[in-house]
Structure 1
Amino acid sequence: MTSKQNKHPFAVAFFSLLSALLAGHAIYHYFILPDQVATHFGFSGNPDAWGPKTVFFLWYVIITGLCIVMFIVVNRLLRPGRLSWLNIPNKEYWLAPERIHDTLHYVRNGMLLFGSGNLLFVLDFINQSFQVSLGHASKLDHPLTTLAMYLLFCVLWVSALYRRFGRKK
């Protein structure tokens, strides 16, 4: 495998930047939020439950940490000889020795970009929640837009995988 095929600097940089941004976002807001924060919101975006910020941040760190670790581990597991769990269309064709490195490069990039999309989704919802807890908003600003954008991103990501691997070249 050439070094060019093994690198995906944009995907790594973007995922790393978002991971650091989430950590900085959490640390910054931990010190400025009140002791009681909005912990649950109804369909309309209005807060309907409040709780201690320490518990909220514990869950925030656990959820984002697991998301970050999961995408890093999956990316590391994408190696020749360890792909029985990988499920892509036309798997035998795309994992043939002459195509496996290009295939894995594409999938690794895609996984990191998908992870970045997940982190952006979490960051936007959490930031909206923080604005309510800080008194800058009375309800979530755009929860349905955030959800719709995330679902569109997921559909486009899956479509790109099927477009790439759905047929043999």
Structure 2
Amino acid sequence: MSNLRYPATIFFAVVTLSFVLPVFYYPRLPEVIVSHYNFKNEPDAWMSKQSAIIIQSVTMAFLTVMFSCIIYFVPKLPKSWINLPHKNYWLNENNREETFLVFRRFMFWLGSITVGFLSLIIQEVYNTNITGKNKLTFAVWIYFAIMLVIISFLIIKMIIHFSKIDKQT
């Protein structure tokens, strides 16, 4: 389990931060905030700050529960429900523990990246509303690119890991 300590700690730290952000921003936000921007980066939807905070909190709670359930329940699924290269090898008694350790680690990182990315985007929206600017900064696209690169790296790493099998067993 010690191999999970670091990714699990990061996941729960990011989740905690995602719930602290609204507490920090709420008093600084105007009563009505821009909640959506179109492809031209122009505001096209507004909502009360209370609604925005509630939606953010519910979204973060949903993501936290979803990733936690996936991490907990997938190892309990029947073998036939799991899609994996070399499934018989990776899900046999000798390799099952390692397989789900790798999977749990992957899901903790994916959850951290997802919740972290959404928190950064929401922070950008809040900062834009606080400063009175009507456009999001270019940082949103940088966050998006970083998220895609990291998720691609994680997926490739997983595919490579599960594509290898020990021919001696």
Q: Same fold (TM over 0.5)?
A: yes
Q: Is residue 2:59 matched to residue 1:49?
A: no
Q: Tell me, what secondary structure is at the counterpart of 2:92?
A: coil
Larger mean CA deviation between 102-111 and 131-140 belongs to 131-140
Q: Give ranges in structure 2 of 5+ residues lacking alignment.
A: none
Give a deviation string over 1:93-123, Cα, whole Å, max 9, x none.
Answer: 1111001111111111110111000011101
Output the TM-score relative to the length of structure 1: 0.88
Q: As a proportion of its length, which structure holds more helix?
A: 2
Alpha-carbon spacing, 1:84–1:112, altered in 2? closer, same or farther (3 Å): farther
Is the contact made by 1:39 and 1:49 (CA closer than 8 Å) also made in structure 2?
yes
Mapped to 2, the partners of 1:108 and 1:122 lie a distance apart of: 21
Mapped to 2, the partners of 1:53 and 1:70 lie a distance apart of: 25
* Deviation (angstroms), 1:14: 0.3
Mapped to 1, the partners of 2:95 and 2:110 lie a distance apart of: 22
* Deviation (angstroms), 1:80: 5.2
Output the TM-score relative to the length of structure 2: 0.88
Which among 144, 152, 155 is matched to residue 155 of structure 1? 152
Alpha-carbon spacing, 1:81–1:63, altered in 2? closer, same or farther (3 Å): closer
Q: Give ranges in structure 1 of 5+ residues lacking alignment.
A: none
- The AA in structure 1 aligned to 2:54 is L
Q: How many residues align?
A: 165
Residue equivalent to 2:83: 87
Residue equivalent to 2:143: 146
- The AA in structure 2 aligned to 1:130 is Y
Q: Sequence identity of aligned pairs in percent? A: 21
